[in-house]
Amino acid sequence: MRRIIGVAGKICSGKSAFTAMLRECSFLEIDVDAVGHEVVQEQIAAIEAAFGAAVVTADRQVDRKALGRIVFASADALQRLEQIVHPRMVAAVHSRIMSTDPEARIIVNAALLFHMGLHTLCDHVVVVRAWFPVRLVRSLRRDGHGLKATIARFARQRSLRLCGESVDITIVRNSTSRRVLQRRVAAFLRNQEIEC
């Protein structure tokens, strides 16, 4: 029977590390951020109509930086963008799940898992958490945006609303080492009676 595990978490909490460890146990990953990139490009006409020609490059690509400056400066603009892309992203994730083998083990990796309602497609959800200072240091090392820009980026990220009435949720802490995270992944799999 198909098993679907949702993975959510804030910036640099370790969602990708957790997901990579599940991939080592034959899970297929659906990266919702990558799905979003595809959908944004597919909806270029609607995005241009909503936000203007400044968000489209000369070769008809969405200028993600220009679009980001607009939507992260205004809650209304962000909501308009989400109304364009989120329903199509959810449909794309659902389609990818349904096109897999009926016995597949799937990870849905999405920062906005709950906000988009993707948790309703999952059998179980893992929320990866790490202390703010740990996440901040990881982001500074990984992205190199500088302290002020990084803190502003953290502040813009939506809070995780754990709408768990329709799905079981496991919290996994990831503030220490990769080895500790590996042990926690192994414990999660044992608790779910999933063989690696």
14-51, pLDDT tens digit by residue? 899 999 999 999 999 999 999 999 999 999 999 999 99
Q: Please determine, for residue 160, whether its predicted confidence score (pLDDT) is greater than 80.
A: no
Q: Please determine, for residue 182, whether its predicted confidence score (pLDDT) is greater than 70.
A: yes
Confidence band of 71 (pLDDT split at 50, 70, 90): confident
Q: Which pLDDT value is given to residue 153?
A: 67
CA-CA distance, 64 to 62, in Å (whole number)? Answer: 6
Residues contacting residue 31 through CB under 8 Å, at least 6 positions apart? 109
Domains and CATH numbers, the chain: 3-189 (3.40.50.300)
Q: Which helix (H) or strand (E) holds 30?
A: strand 28-31
Q: Which pLDDT value is given to residue 167?
A: 84
The most distant pair of C-alpha atoms in the chain lies apart, rounded to whole Å, by 52
Give the three-state DSSP class for 163: coil
| Structure tokens belonging to residue 26 | 């034959």
Task: Please give the angle made by the CA atoms of 161, 165 and 171, to the nearest 5 degrees.
Answer: 55
- Decide: pTM greater than 0.75: yes
CB atoms near residue 9 (< 10 Å): 26
